[in-house]
Amino acid sequence: MKRFTSVMASFWICVFLIAAFPHSLFAADARISDLPSLTDLPSDSDVFPIVDVSDTGISSSGKTKKITPEKLMEYTSTAYPKTEAKLIAAIANASTPRVVLSADVTLSAPLTIPSGTTFTTIPGFVLTTTAANTLTFAAGSHLEDNGEQMFDASPGEVIGLSVATPEMFGASASPTDSATAMQCAIEAANTVELDAKTYLMNRYSGTRHTLSVVKSTNILGKGASQTVIQTTDTTGAIIDIGYDSTYVATAGVTISGIKFVGAADGTGSPGEVPSAIMLSAPTTATYSTPNVTDVIVRDCEFTVFCTAINALGAKRLTIENNYSHGNVYYAGLTAGGYGINYQTCYDVVIRNNRFLSTATDRHSIYGSIQVGNSEPWNVNAVIDGNIVDWSNVATSYVEACMAFRVHRGLVVTNNVMTGGYNGIYINTENGDSENIAISSNKLSGLLNHSTDEYNSIAVINALYNGSTNVYTFDGLVIDGNIVNSGNDYVHGMTVRHADNVVIANNAVTLTGTHTGALILGGVQYGTVTGNKWSLASGPYATAILVADHGAVARTSDYLTFGPQLITGWTKLFGTYGITTTRTIKHMYPRVARVTSNGAGTITVASDPYAILSAAPATDAQGAVISFTKGLVTASAIQTMMSTTNSGLGATTKRFSAGSEDATANTVDAKIEKFDGTGYLALGTNAQTLLITVME
């Protein structure tokens, strides 16, 4: 039975060999025709020759021949070269489209893997290149990844791949530094795939970055919970896009699914602070000549950097679905602690990211500018759907949730923010801004410090270092935002030095003391309507304050106020520093109540809209009523009407137009007796007078 089994096994081995290796395989050997025929046909037509495996020398007797595995493999569609010469011959042979390197080989000349050829190595063997002797994969060729190191190369010595991994170039998990292997992969392929492991990557000596990307490249991890790139460097960027040893125009880079862990320590010089991802550009980059374009960063995590993502002079930048936390402010540089910093960038979308502060963070998103650029502004940035928890920031008291400088087109919408010293802070310090929209955001829990004043939303022209800043905002919409704040000295909104402003449909609830709903300074051509301003507790003089921007002598004028729902404040409207008549209209009735004790004393009992600048003065036929300059226009005075509760049914009528003093913003009003027999002097008749004005 054992012998039968052995015979059958030999039979099936023969059948397999016959199927796998046709007779033409052996006919290629010159001595095969000398073998005796197995049938009546010539021996070179035999399906399979009889081989004496003891004939190790492949004797020339013509009777026996040894066929080794290596000999058999020479006649398959896969070649297994062991030398450079055989490798060159194999890739040149069209009948072997798959080449498997089966020994360590060092190139002595440049080599190209041709189109239609698949190259790989047996695990444990590598192909070594040099700067002069490179390996190029032609279009249409393919590299078969064996999961281990395949090349011993420096960056740029293997090129032309569609996909590469750092493991192909010797990368391994931390604590081994894999920066060189990663740079090799970046320069070798259009797509770099990272494994589920932690990579240590520190920058090369004398360079400003760890990795340089200057061509279209996808760097793809397995997910931020699985793929980690960490550095122990306290300076420089891990990935620098658009810069090698010089600036290089770069387009089409995607980075996703990676957690970046830095080592920022709060010390360093400008240009050397650590970032995870840097988009580089000279200060000469403009909207028409950006250095880096079409970059996507998504599904990543960032922590312990001065700035996690630092973009300069970039165009068409999308940053989405990332998580940033625990970055580090550099006090010596008054910079850093940013999740995302973009400066003089164009067509930027930052959406659906999450930011969590620690005591070292400063801003989740900072839209800054490149000082010295000929066009120092950002163009068309959209900040949408981000979640910012800025409750745990440090106490230098400038840590706004989001901060922005000069923009020509900015939309901040659908964001949820908690905490921060200021929520959304926009400052036109370095140039004119235009077309700003802040809509449908939710802000709560803003922080305060002592009697310093902060805002949920601040759009201001800030003065720094004693300079006179004359830059303006032109075109500003603040619409549909929800604000809830319980701290003292936190205002709802402040807008300063702006033209063409619409503030509408916002709901602001403030429960601290010394808080104002809306402060306008140096604002012209604006509409404020449909808002709900609520002060739940604590006194404050005025809900809506209109002021001139005295520092740069800019007046507030040409403002229109529609209906507002205002509760909790002593005064609904007020002015500060306005001494001349303005065109500030209120498109709804405003009422003040004054009383006279009949003995010459007239007081203002109620004036929530601040329409009276002083208590009326009595005269023989009624009273002289003084209206607040800036809040009551000449057209409103023309429609003034009054009623009294004296029981006389008296009505107040103005004298002739000549009795109106436009400069003083006063009107002389008669109080006519109901029976038409004369007039009542307000000061000598005990009564209450209701004064109503409306545009």
In tens, the pLDDT along 236-254 reads 899 999 999 899 999 999 9
pLDDT of residue 616: 86
End-to-end Cα distance, the chain: 116
pLDDT value at residue 69 = 52
**Same domain for 81 and 196?**
yes
Same domain, 122 and 41: no
Q: Are residues 68 and 82 in the same domain?
A: no
Q: Say whether both 29 and 81 belong to one domain.
A: no
Closest by CA to 357, choosing from 372, 381, 376, 339, is 339
Please indicate, yes or no, if residue 490 is contained in any of the structural domains: no
pTM reported for the whole predicted model: 0.84
Let me know whether 93 and 38 are in one domain. Answer: no
Domain endpoint, select from 73, 90, 105: 73
What the block records as the tokens of 513 is: 């003391």
Which of residues 42, 73, 104 is at a domain's end?
Answer: 73
- pLDDT tens for 425-480 read 999 878 899 999 999 999 999 888 767 888 899 998 765 444 566 788 999 999 99
**What's the mean pLDDT in 629-651?**
64
Residues above pLDDT 70, as percent of the chain? 80
Mean pLDDT of 598-625: 85
Would you list the DSSP string of 483-499?
EEE-STTEEEEEEEEEE
In the numeric block, which tokens belong to residue 262? 């830095």
Q: Are residues 120 and 102 in the same domain?
A: yes
150 within domain boundaries: yes
124 and 59 fall within a common domain: no
The b-or-e profile of 249-284 (16+ CB within 10 A means b, else e) is: ebbebbbbbbbbbbebebebeeeebbbbbbbbbbee
Q: What band does 206 get if pLDDT is binned at 50, 70 and 90?
A: low
HSE-up of residue 459 (Cα within 13 Å, Cβ side): 30
Domain that holds residue 603: 585-693
Over residues 589-612, mean pLDDT? 87
Q: What is the mean pLDDT of residues 661-686?
A: 72
- Whether residue 234 lies inside any domain: the answer is no
Does a structural domain hold residue 465? no
Q: Does residue 574 lie within any of the structural domains?
A: no
**50 found inside a domain:** yes
How many domains does the chain fold into? 3
Residue 615 within a domain: yes
pLDDT of residue 301 exceeding 60: yes
**Same-domain status, 91 and 114:** yes
Same domain flag for 69 and 87: no
Q: Let me know whether 119 and 66 are in one domain.
A: no
57-71, 149-163, 267-281, range with the lowest pLDDT: 57-71
What secondary structure letter does DSSP report for 28?
T
Span 500-537, pLDDT tens digits:
999 999 999 988 877 888 999 999 999 999 999 988 66
Q: What would the two tokens of residue 283 be?
A: 């200060």
Is residue 69 domain-shared with residue 81, that is, in the same domain?
no
Residue where one domain finishes, among candidates 18, 48, 73:
73
Cα 112 to Cα 137: distance, rounded to the nearest angstrom: 6
Q: Give per-residue pLDDT as tens, 386-425.
A: 999 999 987 776 789 999 999 999 999 999 999 999 999 9
